[in-house]
Amino acid sequence: MDFTLTEEQQRIRDRARAFTEAEIIPHARENDARERFPAETIRKMGEAGLLGGVIPREYGGGAMEWVSDALLFEEVGRGDSSVRTTISVQVSLVQQVIFRWGSEEQKRRYLPPLCRGELLGCFALTEPGAGSDAAGIATRAERRDGGWVLNGTKTWITNGGVADVAIVFARTSPAAGHDGTAAFLVETKSPGFSTSEIRGKLGLRASNTAGIVMKECRVPVGALLGTVGEGLRIALGALDNGRFGVAAGCVGILRGCVEACTAYTRSRTQFGRPLASFQLVQDMIARMAVDLEAARLLVLRAAELKNRGERNTLETSMAKYFASEAAVRAATDAIQVHGAYGYSNAHPVERYLRDAKVATIYEGTSQIQKLIIGEQILGVRAFV
């Protein structure tokens, strides 16, 4: 095992770090307070070549391997999880799905502008009655007049209100079960497609989240992604990549907590001594540091399997479960270390906690991750 980063991996990490320091961190507090989507930041990321991910250069991508992808998400996650969430959906759930399942025409049409940040995408799977139960979607797709007509409602869709193109999952035949699901590439300006922004969230306040309503939304026959019957397979495969991005972003939150607490406790004096010299303070920071290294190694193991083209559902679920829960623990302790100051937005640690919590919920809750891990180990499915 060699944990040394290659020159290319270091270069990508350093570019992402410099961009985060210059363009993301200075605006994170205000964007969070105002629930303002940082459209300009996302555009600049595209211009800087930081949105191409693992997509090949022939489609406008960055041709990264998966370790570099993880390092980028870690750096951005340390700066602002709202931005990291936006690009996780753009890169992990939208671009990679189109690259894997799209036709050559779909790839040529959508991937280059998505990788440049000229188009934004969203992944419309969750519905009011279908969250963890991805197979329970009720949105309908009917073949009609030489195309498809979509009817249904989606909710809690990241980028939903700002996206130019949506990957929408629907049932083409309710009686066919899983075999009746399909995925569609829907341009959000299509007639019958409307959105409503969801505000007042606990965290990720600068990330756009929306509900989507489709009423007689007509799309061409070429909007079908893959084939009819592959919808659930596409969705679950995409979530493996989405969970990877979330896990790497949580490593960034963990690192942010360690760095913030280190700086604060060295400068803060109580009882005539630096706060860093108190045993119980060191106890909390030590636990954060161990969780940080463990989470990063779990992410890098999943990345290495992805680089090899090997199945990584178990390893990715482990990384997402551990990193998200560890980020919540670390942020909770980081607020405690900062005391009353940590309870205000004068320091980033309170935002780290609010942002970390949703990582235990979206892209599959921690409970769902444990069931996935259990099934992979035991060979017995605990839920239908």
Q: What is the CA radius of gyration of the chain?
A: 21
Q: How would you class 24 by CB atoms within 10 Å of its CB: exposed for 0-12, middle for 13-18, buried for 19 or more?
A: buried
Q: Which residue has the tokens 């109580």?
A: 270
| C-alpha distance from residue 242 to each of 195, 256, 305 (Å) | 22, 21, 15
How many CB atoms lie under 10 A from the CB of residue 379? 7
Q: What is the DSSP letter of 136?
A: G
Nearest Cα to 82, choosing from 125, 112, 42, 122? 42
Catalytic residue among 74, 75, 230, 363: 363
74 is annotated as an active-site residue:
no
How far is it, in rounded angstroms, from Cα 191 to Cα 352? 39
Write out the two tokens for 226. Answer: 């893959």
How far is it, in rounded angstroms, from Cα 103 to Cα 108? 9
| C-alpha distance from residue 238 to each of 93, 98, 156, 167 (Å) | 6, 10, 17, 11
Tell me whether strands 121-124 and 181-187 are parallel, antiparallel or unpaired.
unpaired
The angle at the Cα of 326, spanning 324 to 331, to the nearest 5 degrees, equals 100
Nearest Cα to 207, choosing from 161, 247, 240, 244? 161
- Which amino acids are annotated catalytic? 363
